[in-house]
């Protein structure tokens, strides 16, 4: 689940890092282990293919290949002196789009949580979307980075540092993949001048993982042309302000319609209707439900030990 058609790699901001080297350098610089929040849903789907899972289960009935793969990743990262905090979606999560063949049940969630508890790996239930909660955790300095390839994280604010697999993890065992791709919101802004308002505009017009259909006739290629207009940033700022002041959406629609008519003359792209965008969806993208700051108390013992400072471990 990502901003449709958007790739961080194309911004020039992404860099490949060796996990062992990154961990060692972080420890030398800070005196504590590198702490990474794991977007549980992302790790579940960025796993073995559905076809491979069926093959394994056919040969070994009752097996749990996805959980096994996640456990292998955990073992490797723990050996690299990296502390993990698994974050699960909560009851107020928005509707998300995942391939039907990768659906999982509550029993899968319970089993994974039991596995984490047995391994002593901290976990946290978000009130809503796990990715939004991960962004909040980094904003509060609970973690140093977020392991997800969900680029929706870039519209939630803060300065999230996203970590993703260098290659699709459906092939070789994770222990053989010691290199990852890392990109921060600050680096993306520096290299490509893409701001939070830019990403909010993208999610609104093109769509994102929150089952937002975007504006009819709009796609990623058209958006990049649209964003070159001199009035684009003003429109993006206006959209962000409309989250708190919905009356501004009327002016936003007029500006967007003007940019469309000048950028795509004769292409039949309709101006945003009065019902667009859905205000509830816009608010969910700009201000998703996350835990209050008081939920994360960093106690002296945890800070001294360098452990992940969550309410669960404290």
DSSP 132-159: HHHHHHHHTTS-SEEE---GGGGGS-S-
Residue 313 domain flag: no
Sheet arrangement for strand 145-147: 15-18, 179-184, 161-165, 145-147, 34-39, 82-88, 123-125
- Mean pLDDT computed over every residue of the chain: 85
Check residue 157 and give its pLDDT: 87
Query: CA 121 to CA 71: how far, in whole Å?
Result: 11
Check residue 1 and give its pLDDT: 43
- My answer on whether 164 and 185 are in the same domain is yes
| In the predicted structure, residue 173 carries a pLDDT above the cut 60 | no
CB-based burial, 184-200: b 16+ in 10 Å, e otherwise: bbebbbeeeebbbbbbb
DSSP-derived secondary structure letter, 172: S
User: Which residue range forms the structural domain that includes residue 88?
Assistant: 8-192
Residue 298 domain flag: no
Residue 297 domain flag: no
Residue 169 domain flag: yes
- My answer on whether 174 and 28 are in the same domain is yes
The pair of three-digit structure tokens given for residue 105, joined into one six-digit string: 């049940």
| In the predicted structure, residue 252 carries a pLDDT above the cut 90 | yes
Query: CA 122 to CA 85: how far, in whole Å?
Result: 5
Which band of pLDDT confidence, cut at 50, 70 and 90, is reported for residue 17? very high
pLDDT digit string (tens) for 225-246?
A: 999 999 999 999 999 999 999 9
Q: What percent of the chain has pLDDT over 90?
A: 54
Mark which of 172, 192, 212 sits at the end of a domain: 192
Check residue 118 and give its pLDDT: 94
The pair of three-digit structure tokens given for residue 17, joined into one six-digit string: 């890092």
CATH number (domain holding residue 177): 3.40.50.1010
Q: What is the four-CA torsion angle of 165, 168, 170, 172, rounded to 10 degrees?
A: -70
Mark which of 173, 192, 211 sits at the end of a domain: 192
- My answer on whether 97 and 41 are in the same domain is yes
Which band of pLDDT confidence, cut at 50, 70 and 90, is reported for residue 268? confident
The average pLDDT across 25-36 equals 97
pLDDT digit string (tens) for 72-94?
A: 899 999 999 999 999 999 988 87
Residue 2 domain flag: no
- My answer on whether 128 and 216 are in the same domain is no
Residue with structure tokens 């608010």? 283
- My answer on whether 188 and 202 are in the same domain is no
- My answer on whether 167 and 56 are in the same domain is yes
Residue 305 domain flag: no
- My answer on whether 55 and 204 are in the same domain is no
- My answer on whether 32 and 124 are in the same domain is yes
pTM as predicted: 0.87
- My answer on whether 87 and 211 are in the same domain is no
- My answer on whether 170 and 128 are in the same domain is yes
- My answer on whether 115 and 162 are in the same domain is yes
Which band of pLDDT confidence, cut at 50, 70 and 90, is reported for residue 211? low
The average pLDDT across 118-135 equals 94
Mark which of 162, 192, 222 sits at the end of a domain: 192
- My answer on whether 36 and 116 are in the same domain is yes
Q: What is the four-CA torsion angle of 279, 282, 287, 290, rounded to 10 degrees?
A: 90
């Amino acid at each position: 689940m990502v901003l449709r058609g958007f790739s961080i790699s194309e911004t020039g901001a992404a860099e490949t890092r060796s996990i062992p080297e990154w961990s060692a350098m972080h420890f030398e610089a800070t005196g504590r282990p590198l702490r990474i929040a794991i977007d549980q849903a992302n790790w579940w789907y960025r796993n073995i293919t559905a076809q491979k899972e069926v093959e394994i289960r056919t040969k070994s009935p009752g097996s749990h290949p996805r959980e096994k793969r996640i456990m292998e990743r955990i073992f490797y990262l723990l050996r690299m002196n990296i502390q993990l905090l698994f974050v699960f979606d909560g009851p107020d999560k928005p509707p998300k789009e995942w391939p039907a063949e990768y659906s999982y049940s509550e029993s899968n969630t319970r089993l994974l949580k039991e596995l984490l508890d047995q391994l002593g790996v901290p976990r946290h239930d978000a009130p809503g979307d796990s990715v939004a909660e991960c962004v909040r955790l980094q904003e509060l300095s609970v973690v140093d980075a977020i392991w997800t390839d969900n680029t929706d994280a870039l519209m939630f604010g803060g300065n999230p540092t996203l970590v993703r697999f260098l290659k699709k993890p459906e092939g070789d065992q994770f222990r053989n993949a010691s290199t990852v791709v890392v990109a921060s919101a600050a680096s993306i802004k520096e290299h490509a001048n893409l701001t939070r308002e830019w990403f909010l505009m993208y999610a609104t017009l093109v769509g994102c993982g929150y089952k937002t259909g975007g504006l009819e006739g709009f796609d990623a290629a058209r958006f990049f042309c649209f964003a070159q207009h001199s009035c684009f940033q003003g429109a993006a700022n206006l959209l962000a302000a409309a989250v708190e002041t919905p009356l501004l959406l009327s002016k936003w629609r007029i500006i967007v319609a003007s940019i469309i008519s000048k950028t795509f003359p004769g292409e039949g792209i309709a101006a945003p209707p009065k019902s667009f965008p859905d205000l509830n969806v816009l608010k969910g993208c700009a201000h998703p439900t996350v835990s209050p700051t008081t939920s994360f108390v960093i106690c002296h013992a945890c800070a001294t030990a360098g452990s992940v400072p969550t309410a669960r471990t404290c």
